[in-house]
Amino acid sequence: MPRVIDIPRELAASQEKYNGEAGRAFIAGLPDLTARFLDRWELRTDGPSMHGVCALALPVRRADGTPAVLKLQILDEESEGEPVALRAWDGDGAVRLLDHDGPTGTMLLERLDETRTLSREPDRHRAVVTIAELLAHLTSFPAPPGLRHLGDIARAMLDQTPWALARIPDPGARRLVADCAAAVREVADEPGDRLLHWDLHFENVLASDRAPWLAIDPKPLAGDPGFELWPALDNHFDPDDVLWRFDAMTGVLALDRPRARAWTLGRVLQNALWDIEDGRPLDDGQLETARRLRGHGG
């Protein structure tokens, strides 16, 4: 008989918003899916469920009493790559993958301390340096075969840029987005081959007993580590701190600053394209990040 689990309303709403009918079907099937893997992996629930935008995370204990987290999510291009990346890192700088079901994308992960996230670090500069140190280690790994590639993403963004520029009414914002595209064009032929997390913001770094900080929830791809910097520039956004953060991170990662600047402007371009597709206004903070970086000699 299916166990009763708490499905957060926010998760149901985000699944409907982003995945439509497939999201509704995923939410409707969660009780049975959860019961199936609790039985298959001999797990028992061990606390209230947690969630992000796309996944349900259920604290559990294994048969031997070891704490873990059962993560259930829709199988797509991003979630398909997550176990590939976690296996490559094998707990070295990231949460450890304990088990995985390919057909559904369900994962069993080691349990970290969800009450201690890097977002609670009061020293923002310390938090940014911590992100950079984690990225320096995670991106030292070559990307395994089969992941999405930054080169393909860059080409798709550049193909879409003329369509997007025609839909930006403000000439200053239009020029800024065009400059971001021009920066990407300069580096697109050398997109890199490192294993990227792609979404390492402060909430995706948790403490554990075995390491001070570990990364969770990668959206992995193969590419240049310069594409990794934007989340730590945007977290707790402070326009006057953008250049300090950029210089600190590129220093820790030993990156070529002009290339890193170009790929960071690529993240601004990517977000602008998504905003335009969804009919949202361009984000003022992201445009300001681009302004600051565009004129930064590095």
**Which tokens sit at 245?**
């953060």
Question: How many residues can be counted in the chain?
Answer: 298
Does residue 58 contact residue 5 with C-beta atoms inside 8 Å? yes
- Counting Cβ atoms within 10 Å, is residue 259 exposed (0-12), middle (13-18) or buried (19+)? buried
Is residue 170 among the annotated active site residues?
no
**Closest listed residue to residue 129, CA positions, set 235, 264, 269, 220:** 235
Contacts with 118 (C-beta within 8 Å, 6 or more apart), sequence order: 127, 130, 131, 202, 203, 205, 206, 213
Q: Which residue stretches of 42-107 are H helix?
A: 77-89
Q: How far apart are CA 12 and CA 7, in angstroms?
A: 7
Q: Which of 46, 101, 179, 199 is catalytic?
A: 199
**Closest listed residue to residue 58, CA positions, set 35, 40, 75, 78:** 35
Q: Roughly what angle, to the nearest 10 degrees, separates helices 171-187 and 284-294?
A: 60
Residue 154 has a CB neighbour count (10 Å cut-off) of 25
Active site residue ranges? 199
